Amino acid sequence: MANDRKDKLTPKQEKFVQGVINGLSYADAYRQAYPNTKMSDENIYSEASNMINGTGNYKDNPKVHTRFVELNQKAVEKAKKADEKKIADASEILTFLSSVMRDENAEYKDRMKAAELSGKRFGIFSEHVQINENLPPVIIDDVRE
């Protein structure tokens, strides 16, 4: 039970970590979490840095650092998922091109461009040359001596 309490953050510590995760500087997050502190700006920054990094007085019990790492990893994963949603995949692009191509209210040049891009994607405009594999190779000896 005692170890359980040791690993749990106080409400002020949690507020501090949340402030840093939400973009506040270490010092500003510390001031927000501990508004009645009488420490100098230099000491506030030092204390906040030690809390986040699990150093100094927090070396033996880096619970604030552990919580920061946990929340930071979640934030990074969330950002990656958001970035993935920003990039259109092939299916989405083809759906868009098809909708523009079929939109009778769109300008003719836009419809044609959408049709052209779709056609290029499917190889409609490329020449297909069929090679008969059964023909023997022809060697032309045109080397002059």
Highest averaged pLDDT of the listed ranges 87-96, 102-111, 130-139: 102-111
* Nearest CA-CA partner of 98 in 112, 115, 120, 113: 115
The percent of residues above 90 in pLDDT, for the chain, comes to: 38
Enter the pTM of the model.
Answer: 0.54
Matching residue, tokens 């290029």: 120
Model confidence at 117: pLDDT above 80: yes
Model confidence at 28: pLDDT above 90: yes
* Mean pLDDT calculated for residue range 101-121: 89
Q: pLDDT tens for residues 41-85? A: 999 999 999 998 888 888 888 899 999 999 989 988 888 887 777
- CA pair distance 22, 64, nearest whole angstrom: 15
**What mean pLDDT is reported for the chain?**
84
Residue 1: its pLDDT value, please?
Answer: 38
Q: pLDDT band for position 6 (50/70/90)?
A: low
- Asked if residues 48 and 26 have their Cβ atoms less than 8 Å apart, the reply is yes
Residue 143: its pLDDT value, please?
Answer: 67
**Spans of all domains in the chain:** 9-84, 90-119
Model confidence at 2: pLDDT above 50: no
DSSP code of residue 112: H
* Alpha helix ranges (H) inside the chain: 2-7, 11-21, 26-33, 41-53, 63-86, 90-102, 108-122
